Amino acid sequence: MTTNEKLELAASLSLRDEITQHYYRTTSSRGHQRTREYYELAAALLKRRLGPWTPQKQARCLDLACGCGEMLYCLEREGIKNTAGVDLCSEEIDEAKLFVRGNLVHSDVLGYLRQTDSKSFDFVTAFNFLEHLSKEYLRDVLLETRRVLRPGGVLVGMVPNSISPFSGITRYWDITHEWAFSPNNFRQLAALTDFDPTVEFRECGPVAHGPISGIRYLIWQLIRLGIAAWLLVELADRKGGVYTMDMLVRLRVPGAGEDRQ
């Protein structure tokens, strides 16, 4: 592609679209490594993040904006064989194919979901993705995700947490981020998109798995007590008790024959 052609293409795209389509070159290549060791370390971290939310081995799993495939590698490492991922950046898909066995699709997420059969997945992940979307696009992605999930299926996301005193770090770390989330945002979205109204949240803080991480965990507990005290003094409300810069959220589809509360 000539310089003029690149300039014409750039002029036809929004800044967000241009960065997203070239996300590997502009962003993820600085942290990604094409080695088994990198994927093993990433999988171990993601497994600690998922914790009890890790799906069963027989689950059919989909990763939205799968990037270089770290989440899919993590799930496959846990013995899950039915995996799929979708991403708009072809370079990231090419990197993922070197280490991931599942079905990888280069596509816009919403377009992919709209072409997917209803009730065809048990477990959908959206890590570091939902904050890139406009509010209207986010609504449509959640509606389509709700449709492709089977009864009892779940969507697990990781997003910037606006309740954190340091939320600006993750909110503005990436120029394509549209916003940060509060827990109440997801309760609103759950009601709008027909997920179960009981939405679960977890922190993305230190998990004790060795001496150093154990010390970090203990120090973080002291810090979060201070944040909770500050909120109680100012607002008389702990605001859910999730204070890390990123937070995990789980939205669930009611099971077959299960009434929504």
Mean pLDDT along residues 69-82: 97
Strands across the sheet containing 103-106: 103-106, 82-87, 60-64, 121-127, 149-160, 246-252, 200-203
Mean pLDDT along residues 50-62: 97
Instruction: Please report the pLDDT score of residue 7 as a whole number.
Output: 45
Query: pLDDT tens digit string along 156-215?
Result: 999 999 999 999 999 999 999 999 999 999 999 999 999 999 999 999 999 999 999 999
Query: pLDDT tens digit string along 207-230?
Result: 999 999 999 999 999 999 999 999
Backbone angles phi, psi at 55, to 5 degrees: -75, 165
Instruction: Please report the pLDDT score of residue 14 as a whole number.
Output: 80
DSSP per-residue string spanning 33-81: -SSHHHHHHHHHHHHHHHGGGPPPTT-EEEEET-TTSHHHHHHHHTT--
Whether 6 has a pLDDT exceeding 90, the answer reads no
Query: pLDDT tens digit string along 17-33?
Result: 888 889 999 999 999 99
- The whole-angstrom separation of Cα 213 and Cα 7 is 47
Whether 11 has a pLDDT exceeding 90, the answer reads no
Domains of the chain from N-terminus onward: 3-204+244-252 (3.40.50.150)
